[in-house]
């Protein structure tokens, strides 16, 4: 009986390990920024080589129990940062988590993020699996593209999860 249970457990182990991966999903250019001593954000480009869309539904981080998915949206001429339930990575495409757009927010930090620090994240992609990501803190990195116009918005904090910023 013990042999049968052990054999069943060993047979199930590769299946369980496969569920912890996210085949076809890759991350490039992952970096983090400190926005103030109590919060930060992580940015990256996520590629999906699969035939179906994948959705990032949650993120966890080793530096805080409060990692949240956020985005910026224009409302009445002001940019506001708000939490989102998921970020879609299109089938066969990429999606940038970038300053001024979708990103992973690190809230309630007990230790401020310093240049060169590493942040270990796990992205929960629902049916597509989970993906570990390491982001290096780079507080001096300049913003790129249109997102740069909103880069200063994190510095003011996150009261109520919205941050008004002038729209470009």
Which residue is it, tokens 């990256």? 44
Model confidence over 58-109: pLDDT tens digits?
999 999 999 999 998 888 889 898 999 999 999 999 999 999 999 999 999 9
What's the pTM? 0.75
- Please indicate, yes or no, if residue 10 is contained in any of the structural domains: yes
| 64 DSSP 8-state letter | B
Residue 87 sits in a domain of what CATH number? 2.60.40.1890
Count the domains in the chain.
Answer: 1
Per the structure, the complete domain to which residue 142 belongs is given by 2-155
The closest alpha carbon to 142, from 108, 110, 98, 106, belongs to 98
Cα 48 to Cα 14, 24, 65, 66: the distances in Å are 23, 6, 27, 26
CB count in 10 Å sphere of residue 121: 22
């Amino acid at each position: 009986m013990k042999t049968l249970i052990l054999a069943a457990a060993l047979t199930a182990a590769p299946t369980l390990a496969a569920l912890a991966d996210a085949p076809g999903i890759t991350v490039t250019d992952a970096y983090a920024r400190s926005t103030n001593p109590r919060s930060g954000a992580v940015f990256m480009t996520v590629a999906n080589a699969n035939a179906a869309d994948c959705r990032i539904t949650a993120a966890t981080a080793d530096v805080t129990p409060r990692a949240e998915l956020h985005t910026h949206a224009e409302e009445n001429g002001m940019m506001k940062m708000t939490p989102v339930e998921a970020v879609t990575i299109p089938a066969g495409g990429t999606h940038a988590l970038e300053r001024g757009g979708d990103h992973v927010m690190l809230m309630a930090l007990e230790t401020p993020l310093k240049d060169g620090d590493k942040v270990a994240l796990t992205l929960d992609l629902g049916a597509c699996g989970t993906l570990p990501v390491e982001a290096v803190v780079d507080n001096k990195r300049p913003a790129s593209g249109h997102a740069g116009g909103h880069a200063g918005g994190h510095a003011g904090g996150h009261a109520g999860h919205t941050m008004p910023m002038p729209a470009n």
